[in-house]
């Protein structure tokens, strides 16, 4: 009888261990959770200078249909050394990743950032169009 | 069954005994003072040790009255201090109003070479004396050590070693007044500000121009601009002949270095901070600078790196700046 109880206990522990280690949710190549959300847009945008103070003049205009971000920056902004900050819909991620300063000085060729939805099925590229405020 | 009962009955008194012992109050006993001459020391200044600035120590010494009294206190520095190095001959206490009141305990200190000494003239058994070491140029980039020694009337001697302390290679200058219409030309090499006449006489030493302009449609305000920068950043500025150097700048905010700002922030810029800077793609201007902002600078010949801190600004086109500089 004792022998059977031990076997049952061992099987129970093994089953618990197996179920505890089982992966419930899928993750992507960045280790981020893949969800069922389909929302895919930029909700706000910020641009900081090397002093980590905003260089924007007014709020950035985000067009989720045209997939553009239009932002006017102060006269004298050092366009080669800017820190962009995106706020995205829930569970979205951005490609390319922002890892430091970004050079926005080539105004003729706006930077493009792609927003990827929570379910990783929808991808929307956004162009960041910068206009420098005139001095006078 | 009988054995289990015995266990139970013996466990209970043991637990009670443990509780009594654990709760027993230990009687406080006054510590017995050591009956020899004693001393201790702390360094009071924080941050980098900069040439021309002071390092402050507080040196405490005491002896039991029954054993004797203090006779002298002296400090031996490994590198002689610059003029102004001294040891206080007063022992301080703080009165009820919070004011430090000094009681003279001896003659003014005498500094001979690396040695600074105070001879006691009043009967003193315990005191703390401040020692101010003015860092000499000779110590730049080196380390300096201090040995504090006190002697008592019964012939005892006690010593305390402090250091080594590394002396920074950088220089510092505080509170330079700049004005857009007169004293506008900043020399990092000379750590000073020139007017246009002096700038014309030293064009190869002018690294920056201070500019103040008020525009309705843009925020220009207070600016530090390289002479070689685009003229858009030098509106209405007629540069003296030959002033054309091209320094690089990185605009900074919230870096209120304590040595430069003398504010409550415990931030210190040291030699290593200059060495870590990367001026790749840095612009040659920094506009719309506010009070308590600043800029890192690298001179055109890459001979110097500096941090200019804006102490204050006024809308009449004047500002007060302070500079830390490292020769590379």
Residue of B254, B281, B287 with shortest CB distance to A76: B287
Chain A CB within 8 Å of residue B288 CB: yes
For residue B215, which residues of chain A lie inside 8 Å, CB to CB?
75, 135-136
Tell me the chain A residues in contact with residue B283 when contact means C-beta distances shorter than 8 Å: 78, 80-81
Of B218, B254, B282, nearest to A135 by CB-CB distance is B218
| ipTM exceeds 0.85, yes or no | no
Does the beta-carbon distance from B218 to A49 stay under 8 Å?
A: no
Which of B216, B218, B233 comes nearest A74 by C-beta? B218
ω before B294 within 30° of 0 (cis)? no
The number of angstroms, rounded, from the C-alpha of B29 to the middle of its chain's C-alpha atoms is 42
Q: Report if residue A25 sits inside a domain.
A: no
Q: Is residue A105 part of a domain?
A: yes
The domain in which residue A51 lies consists of 42-132
A106 near B249, Cβ under 8 Å?
no
A12 — pLDDT class (breaks 50, 70, 90): confident
The answer to whether residue A136 scores a pLDDT higher than 80 is no
Cα distances from A49 to residues A81, A132, B212, in angstroms, run 7, 14, 20
Provide φ and ψ at A125, rounded to 5°: -80, 135
Contacts of A51 in chain B (CB under 8 A): 251-254, 293
Q: Do A134 and B232 touch (CB under 8 A)?
A: no
Residue A68 lies inside a defined structural domain of this protein: yes
For the stretch B148-166, pLDDT in tens is: 999 999 999 999 999 899 9
CB B280 within 8 A of CB B241: no
Q: Please give the Cα distance from A4 to A12 (Å, whole number).
A: 12
State how far the Cα of B156 lies from the Cα of B150, in Å rounded to an integer. 8
A8 occurs within a structural domain: no
Does residue A61 have a pLDDT over 80? yes
Distances in Å between the alpha carbon of A136 and those of A60, A76, B215, B223, B230? Answer: 21, 12, 6, 16, 15
The confidence score (pLDDT) of residue B12 equals: 65
Right CATH for B38-166 from 2.60.40.3550, 3.30.2320.80, 1.10.3720.10, 2.30.130.10: 2.60.40.3550
Residue A13 falls within a domain, yes or no? no
DSSP code of residue A85: E
CA distances from B117 to B71, B202, B262 (A): 11, 45, 31
User: Residue B196 — φ and ψ, nearest 5°?
Assistant: -65, -35
Residues in chain B where the model's pLDDT stays below 70 = 1-13, 15-24
Q: Quick one: three-class SS letters along chain B?
A: CHHHHHHHHHHHHHHHHHHHHHHCCCCCCCCCCCCCCEEEEEECCCCCECCCCEEEEEEEEECCCCCCCEEEEEEEECCCCCCCCEECCEEEEECCCCCEEEEECECCCEEECCEEEEEECCCCCEEEEEEEEECCHHHCCCEEEEEEEEEECCCCEEEEEEEEEEECCCEEEEEEEEECCCCCEEECCCCEEECHHHHHHCHHHCCEEEEEECCCCCCCEEEEECCCCCHHHCCCCCCCCCCCCCCEEEEEECCCEHHHHCCCCCECCCHHHHHCCCCCCCCCEEEEECCCEEEEEECCCCCEEEEEEEEEEECCCEEEEEEEEEEC
Distance CA A56, CA A28 (A): 34
Q: Do B215 and A76 touch (CB under 8 A)?
A: no
Residue A45 pLDDT: 97
Q: Is the pLDDT of residue A21 over 80?
A: no
Say yes or no for a CB contact (<8 Å) between B216 and A136. Answer: yes
Mean pLDDT of A28-51: 95
Indicate the pLDDT class of residue A16, thresholds 50, 70 and 90: low
Joined together, the tokens standing for residue A136 give 């006078």
CA of A80, closest CA in chain B: separation in Å? Answer: 7
Question: Looking at residue B168, what is its pLDDT?
Answer: 96
Q: Is A134 exposed, middle or buried (0-12, 13-18, 19+ CB in 10 A)?
A: exposed
Backbone φ, ψ for residue B159 (5° rounding):
-130, 155
Residues 192-231 of B with CB under 8 A from A: 215-220, 223
B250 vs A contacts (CB less than 8 Å): 50, 81
Using CA coordinates, name the residue in chain A closest to B285. Answer: A76
Which chain B residues contact residue A136 at CB under 8 A?
215-218
Distance from CA of B307 to the nearest CA of A (A): 14
Given this model, what pLDDT does residue A1 score? 65
The enclosing domain of A57 has a CATH number of 2.60.40.2340
From B219, B281, B288, residue closest to A81, measured CB to CB = B281
Nearest CA-CA distance, residue B254 and chain A, Å: 8
Chain B residues with beta carbon closer than 8 angstroms to that of A76: 218, 220, 223, 233, 285, 287-288
Q: What is the pLDDT of residue B5?
A: 60
Domain range annotation of chain B: 38-166, 171-327
B217–A50: do the CB atoms touch at under 8 Å?
no
Three-class DSSP category at A88: strand
Please tell me if residue B279 touches chain A, with a CB cutoff of 8 Å. no
Q: What is the pLDDT of residue A30?
A: 92
Domain-embedded: residue A65: yes
**Secondary structure letter of residue A32 according to DSSP:** P
Chain A contact set for B211 (CB, 8 A)? none
What phi and psi, each to the nearest 5 degrees, are found at residue B231? Answer: -65, -15
Task: Return the higher-pLDDT residue of A102 and B18.
Answer: A102
Closest-CA residue in chain B for A76? B287
Give the SS3 label for residue A2: helix
Residue A6: inside a domain = no
Q: Which two tokens stand for residue B261?
A: 């700002």
Region A18-47: what's the mean pLDDT? 86
Q: Is residue A36 one of the residues assigned to a domain?
A: no
Quickly state the pLDDT bin for A42 (edges 50, 70, 90).
very high
Domains: count for chain A? 1
Closest residue by Cα to residue B278 from A81, A40, A71 = A81
Of A50, A75, A136, the CB nearest to B251: A50
Q: Which residue has the tokens 């001959």?
A: B89
């Amino acid at each position: 009888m004792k022998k059977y109880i031990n076997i049952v206990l061992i099987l129970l522990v093994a089953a618990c261990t197996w179920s505890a280690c089982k992966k419930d949710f899928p993750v992507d190549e960045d280790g981020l959770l893949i969800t069922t959300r389909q929302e895919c847009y930029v909700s706000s945008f910020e641009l900081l200078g090397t002093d980590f103070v905003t260089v924007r003049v007014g709020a950035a205009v985000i067009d989720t249909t045209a997939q553009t971000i239009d932002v006017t920056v102060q006269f004298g902004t050092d366009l080669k050394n800017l820190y962009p900050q995106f706020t995205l819909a829930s569970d979205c991620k951005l490609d390319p990743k922002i890892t430091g300063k970004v050079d926005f000085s080539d105004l003729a060729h706006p930077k493009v950032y792609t927003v990827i939805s929570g379910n990783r099925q929808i991808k929307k590229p956004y162009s960041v169009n910068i206009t420098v405020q005139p001095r006078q | 069954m009988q054995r289990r009962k015995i266990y139970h009955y013996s466990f209970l008194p043991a637990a009670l005994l443990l509780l009594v012992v654990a709760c027993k109050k230990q009687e406080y006993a006054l510590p017995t003072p050591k009956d020899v001459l004693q001393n201790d020391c702390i360094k009071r200044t924080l941050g980098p040790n900069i040439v021309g600035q002071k390092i402050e120590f507080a040196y405490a010494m005491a002896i039991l009255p029954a054993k004797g009294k203090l006779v002298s206190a002296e400090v031996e520095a490994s590198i002689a201090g610059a003029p102004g190095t001294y040891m206080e001959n007063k022992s301080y206490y703080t009165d009820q109003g919070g004011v430090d009141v000094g009681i003279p305990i001896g003659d003014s200190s005498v500094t001979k070479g690396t040695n600074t000494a105070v001879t006691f003239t009043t009967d003193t058994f315990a005191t703390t004396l401040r020692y101010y070491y003015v860092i000499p140029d000779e110590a730049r980039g080196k380390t300096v050590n201090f040995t504090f020694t006190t002697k008592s009337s019964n012939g005892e001697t006690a010593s305390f070693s402090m250091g080594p302390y590394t002396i920074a290679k950088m220089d510092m200058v505080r509170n330079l007044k700049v004005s857009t219409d007169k004293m506008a030309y900043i020399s990092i090499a000379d750590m000073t500000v020139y007017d246009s006449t002096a700038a014309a006489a030293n064009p190869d030493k002018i690294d920056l121009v201070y500019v103040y302009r008020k525009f309705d449609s843009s925020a220009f305000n207070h600016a530090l601009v390289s002479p070689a920068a685009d003229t858009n950043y030098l509106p209405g500025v007629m540069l003296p002949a030959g002033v054309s150097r091209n320094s690089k700048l990185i605009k900074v905010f919230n870096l209120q270095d304590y040595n430069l700002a003398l504010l409550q922030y415990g931030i210190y810029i040291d030699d290593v901070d200059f060495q870590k800077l990367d001026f790749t793609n840095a612009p040659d201007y920094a506009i719309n600078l506010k009070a308590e902002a600043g800029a890192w600078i690298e001179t055109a010949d890459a001979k110097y790196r500096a941090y200019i801190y804006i102490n204050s600004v006024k809308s009449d086109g004047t500002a007060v700046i302070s500079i830390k500089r490292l020769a590379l």
